[in-house]
Amino acid sequence: MKRYQSGWTTGGVVALTIVIAIAAAGVTALLVNIFERKSEAREPWVRLVEVNENTTDPSVWGTNWPRQYDSYLRTAEATRTRFGGHGGSEALPEQKIERDPWLKRMFLGYAFSIDYRDRRGHAYMLVDQEQTERLTKPQTGSCLHCHASIMPLYRELGDGDAMQGFEASYRYSYKDLNAKLHDMGHAHPVSCVDCHSPDTMALRVTRPGFILGIQALAEGDAPVPHLPTVAKWREGSRSAPYDPNVDASRNEMRSYVCAQCHVEYYCASNMPLTFPWSEGLTADDVETFWNNTTFDDGQRFFDYRHAESGAEILKAQHPEFELWSQGIHARSGVACADCHMPYQRDGATKVSDHWVRSPLLNVSRACQTCHHFAEAEILARVDAIQQRNFDLLQRGGDALMDLLDAIGQARAEGASDEQLRPALELQRKAQWRLDFIAAENSMGFHAPQEAARVLGEAADYARQGQVAALRWRGQPAGAVAEVGGQDVSPAGDEEVPGSNGNGQFQ
């Protein structure tokens, strides 16, 4: 022992250094080995069965990737939160229109007033579509774009070219295309092959509607700070269109796969399925897009004519991607999958939870990885956001009902369409905003401040419309512009959509 205390010789230092170096190399090798094992475990490439572009049956993929498949199957389970996650295997979900009675009157004249329910898990997307009473009105084959594992059918329709098949699909009736899907053996809800390349398992998007929509967004000039590769593409040569499967980052793909379906769209038998993004992703941008769209006969675009008032109405559909795009999470790079498909540990393996559902049922993994507050506190914060949004929605609904009452009264007093035009235009604007937030499924959470802005405008336009209807008699053209054409947008646009700028509504 004494020898060691007697001081260090040069030879001793060199020897010790060598020993440490060898030990360090050993530890490094061990770490590399562990890391390799971990990544092996995370991406198990042991393929017991082959999967290819036509393997739409998820159970086949499940042989290779049982952990993801097991959690995917759980989307059939019944879950419930205060505002979301309704579902169950035994019965169709609770009627949304009974919870918010104004919804029914708002949708009069549209198939949605017949049947509009709370959504449920992915496992049901095809059967729920096949069963909805909205199908008592004939529907287009485009409906299947987001409700089935449809790519092989598109390839079949397009002689091998999926994009061509997609472009033809809107002309088929839902019934015919759905029968074809069943005949071909592809009647599955969203499946592994829709989000993953069968060769590499890398995330990818397949849906033509999304690919065309995001291209149009990139080619426009709306700011998209939350999608950095779009900005990068815009600065490049633009020799090829923006291609999410080539240009997007892995993090963006973790939202794009969901944006194949959770978006606003137009789907009917008179034009191909359209994602309306060339002007941008806000409620106002999308409204501008629709206002600039005309049907083949030159008629301005609308989804339905309101059965009570006669207004040409725009219907909004689940704009989750669009609203998320306006929020702080998107801006901070937090993707849909971070909250709805969080990682879970399975031994040394990290598995993405394919039980896509409300994150409020999974706060520890969905939120507490980033927010270090107690679960109860996080839930209370979400509830506060959702409650405020719900209250604003009801106020907007009340205002819209008052507008409809005023229009009805004016008609009873003999008002003409021409005299009611300002009120009807304001109904279109108010209802678009109200529906944009009502149809979005997070009850305001995805972008609370933006949702409140949109609902504030909805109530304001509805009240302006009510005033216009009450004053239908003495309304000179100038006054119309003052009431109906008032610009409330913070950007101070010169012109209000729907107005030709001369105080006359088109």
Please identify which residue in 97, 143, 153, 430 interacts with ligand HEC, judged by CB under 6 A.
143
Identify which of residues 272 and 497 has a Cβ nearer to ligand HEC in the complex.
272
- Segment interacting with ligand HEC (CB under 6 A) among 9-17, 155-163, 363-371, 498-506: 363-371
Supply the DSSP string of 260-316, one letter for each residue.
TTSS--EEETTEEEE---TT-SSHHHHHHHHHT-B-TTSPBP-SEE-TTT--EEPPP
- Segment interacting with ligand HEC (CB under 6 A) among 27-35, 125-133, 308-316, 496-504: 125-133
What is the C-alpha to C-alpha distance for residues 218 and 240, in angstroms, rounded to an integer?
11
| Binding status of residue 272 toward ligand HEC by CB under 6 A | no
Q: Give residues with Cβ within 8 angstroms of 261, minimum separation 6.
A: 145, 146, 190, 207
Residues 193-232: x where in contact with ligand HEC by CB under 6 A, - otherwise, as a string: -xxx----x-x-----x-----------------------
- 3-class secondary-structure state, position 352: strand
Please identify which residue in 106, 187, 261, 313 interacts with ligand HEC, judged by CB under 6 A.
261
> Angle at which helices 250-259 and 208-219 pack, to 10 degrees?
120
Q: Give residues with Cβ within 8 angstroms of 189, minimum separation 6.
A: 122, 123, 124, 125, 126, 147, 148, 149
Min dist CB 383 to ligand HEC, Å, is 9
Per the CB < 8 A criterion, the answer to whether 401 and 102 are in contact is: yes
- 373-432: which residues touch ligand HEC (CB under 6 A)? 378, 381-382
Min dist CB 93 to ligand HEC, Å, is 7
Closest CA to 275 of 191, 349, 166: 166
Helix (H) or strand (E) holding 220: none
Residue type at 473 in one-letter notation: R
| Binding status of residue 56 toward ligand HEC by CB under 6 A | no
- 3-class secondary-structure state, position 435: helix
Residue type at 67 in one-letter notation: R
- Segment interacting with ligand HEC (CB under 6 A) among 222-230, 292-300, 326-334, 429-437: 326-334
| Binding status of residue 321 toward ligand HEC by CB under 6 A | yes
What is the C-alpha to C-alpha distance for residues 456 and 395, in angstroms, rounded to an integer?
9
| Binding status of residue 263 toward ligand HEC by CB under 6 A | yes
Identify which of residues 201 and 423 has a Cβ nearer to ligand HEC in the complex.
201
Identify which of residues 341 and 496 has a Cβ nearer to ligand HEC in the complex.
341
Phi/psi of residue 351, each to 5°?
-120, 135
Identify which of residues 341 and 426 has a Cβ nearer to ligand HEC in the complex.
341
Residues 14-53: x where in contact with ligand HEC by CB under 6 A, - otherwise, as a string: ----------------------------------------
- 157-186: which residues touch ligand HEC (CB under 6 A)? none
- 81-100: which residues touch ligand HEC (CB under 6 A)? 81, 83-87
| Binding status of residue 122 toward ligand HEC by CB under 6 A | yes
Q: Give residues with Cβ within 8 angstroms of 420, minimum separation 6.
A: 309, 310, 407, 410, 411, 469, 472
Min dist CB 236 to ligand HEC, Å, is 24
Please identify which residue in 218, 337, 437, 455 interacts with ligand HEC, judged by CB under 6 A.
337
Please identify which residue in 169, 255, 274, 326 interacts with ligand HEC, judged by CB under 6 A.
255
Min dist CB 379 to ligand HEC, Å, is 8
Identify which of residues 74 and 471 has a Cβ nearer to ligand HEC in the complex.
74
Q: Give residues with Cβ within 8 angstroms of 352, minimum separation 6.
A: 68, 337, 341, 342, 343, 344
Q: Which residues make beta-bridge pairs with 305?
A: 312
Query: In Å, what is the CA distance from 238 to each residue of 37, 206, 246?
Result: 41, 22, 13
Please identify which residue in 279, 284, 312, 338 interacts with ligand HEC, judged by CB under 6 A.
338
Q: Can you read off the two tokens belonging to residue 161?
A: 């070219």
Min dist CB 329 to ligand HEC, Å, is 4
| Binding status of residue 356 toward ligand HEC by CB under 6 A | yes
| Binding status of residue 266 toward ligand HEC by CB under 6 A | no
| Binding status of residue 332 toward ligand HEC by CB under 6 A | yes
Residue type at 460 in one-letter notation: D
Burial of 130 (0-12, 13-18, 19+ CB in 10 A): middle
Min dist CB 131 to ligand HEC, Å, is 7
- Residue 203 DSSP label: B
Min dist CB 449 to ligand HEC, Å, is 7
| Binding status of residue 340 toward ligand HEC by CB under 6 A | yes
What is the C-alpha to C-alpha distance for residues 25 and 38, in angstroms, rounded to an integer?
20
Q: Can you read off the two tokens belonging to residue 34?
A: 């562990």
- Segment interacting with ligand HEC (CB under 6 A) among 151-159, 426-434, 442-450, 463-471: 442-450
Identify which of residues 343 and 467 has a Cβ nearer to ligand HEC in the complex.
343
Please identify which residue in 3, 250, 345, 372 interacts with ligand HEC, judged by CB under 6 A.
250
| Binding status of residue 354 toward ligand HEC by CB under 6 A | yes
- 274-313: which residues touch ligand HEC (CB under 6 A)? none
